[in-house]
Amino acid sequence: MANTTIISRRGTFLDRGLLPVRNEVRVRKYLPLEFRMRLRSSVLELTKLSLGYRQIQAALFDSTHTWLSKGSISEWVHGIHDPSGGTNKFHTDPSPELAYVIGVIAGDGNLNVHGYNYEMLLSVTDYDFAEEFSRCLAKILGKSNLYKVRWSEKRKRWIVQGSSIILQRFLSKPWQHLKNHIEHSSRCRFSFLRALFDGEGSITGRNLTISNTDLSLLLYVRKLLAKSGISTRIPRVTHRAGSILKDPSTGRTYKRRKDCYVMRVSPTDLLRFARKIGFSIERKKRVLPSFVDSFETP
């Protein structure tokens, strides 16, 4: 067994992706989540054939050159451990919270991979925006406590970070592949739009606009708004690729890599927007009512 991977119960290496390898020197080796999930699936299938643990060990070794300990087999069979780990509990059932997270990632959010840490991150100037993202993230990952919202003095922003390899990979899909979750219900649709307007929306005077470098996303937003009776103008280019952008909070300047588009919501539909979609950000909430009140005045 010179080059055989040994999976031991001790330290629950398998469920953390840490596997001791028997060689001249005993070391730890990370195995991909998909491989661990396939191993567990094979164990459960072999169990249905009424095979004993030793027979399961032999069968897996023949097919994968991986020697699974009886302790690990027992823990998988009895549901004591799961290869996905505690941070990866995620069910893809559509919900307003999941739609909000999809909207955040399509807008201001980021997906990062640091070694074996698969991360969803939001860095913004509004605390209540970060707090709402934290709430939705915790809800869909089954967390009893919200993710911490921390202030970065260097970035002058509020930051929320969550980690889940399964959710991160789900969100890595193009938004076009997630339409079933976005359009599952009116609540999901409104939640997705609220996330985008929280991050990419701007309201001054009677001007409610949303900006993005993805023209196809704005056209999709236009379609969803129309479905709710909210009309918009056709998106137009506001800034060309190569132009300079200055971050007002830090003073740093950046060169735009893509054209930036803006789309305006019809002023006559601001009341409908406020009632159906609205904002999670308090400063934007305070501005909107002053406009919609004028539409309600006789």
Each residue's pLDDT tens digit, 110-130: 999 876 678 999 999 999 999
Contact 233, 216 (CB under 8 A): no
Q: How far apart are CA 107 and CA 103, in angstroms?
A: 6
pLDDT score at 292: 58
Torsions phi, psi for 107 (to 5 deg): -110, -100
Residue 231 pLDDT greater than 80, yes or no: yes
Q: Between 97 and 80, where is the model more confident?
A: 97
Q: Which residues pair with 168 in a beta bridge?
A: none
Write phi, then psi, for 253 (nearest 5 degrees).
-115, 145
What contacts 33, CB < 8 A, 6 or more positions away? 17, 83, 84, 88, 165, 166
Count CB atoms within 10 A of the CB of residue 156.
Answer: 14
| Per-residue pLDDT, 176 | 95
pLDDT above 80 (res 166)? yes
* CA dist 233 → 196, 207, 225, 247, 263 (Å): 17, 12, 11, 27, 6
- Res 84: pLDDT: 58
201 within 8 A of 284, measured Cβ to Cβ: yes
On the CB side of 87, how many CA atoms lie within 13 Å of its CA?
A: 16
List the one residue out of 259, 277, 268 whose CA is nearest residue 211.
259
Higher-confidence position of 226 and 9: 226
pLDDT at 103: 97
| Band of residue 19 on the pLDDT scale cut at 50, 70, 90 | very low
CA 288, 230, 267, 199 torsion-angle sign: positive
- Please tell me the least confidently modeled range out of 79-83, 122-126, 219-223, 274-278: 79-83
pLDDT given at position 49: 84
Burial class of 192 by CB neighbour count within 10 A (0 to 12, 13 to 18, 19+): buried
What is the pLDDT, as a whole number, of residue 193? 98
Q: Are 60 and 43 in contact (CB under 8 A)?
A: yes
Return phi, psi of residue 278, to 5°: 70, -160
Pairwise CA distance, residues 289 & 297, whole Å: 12
Minimal CA–CA distance to 269: which of 233, 229, 223?
Answer: 229
Candidates 117, 112, 46, 121; CA nearest to 77 is 46
Radius of gyration, alpha carbons of the chain: 24
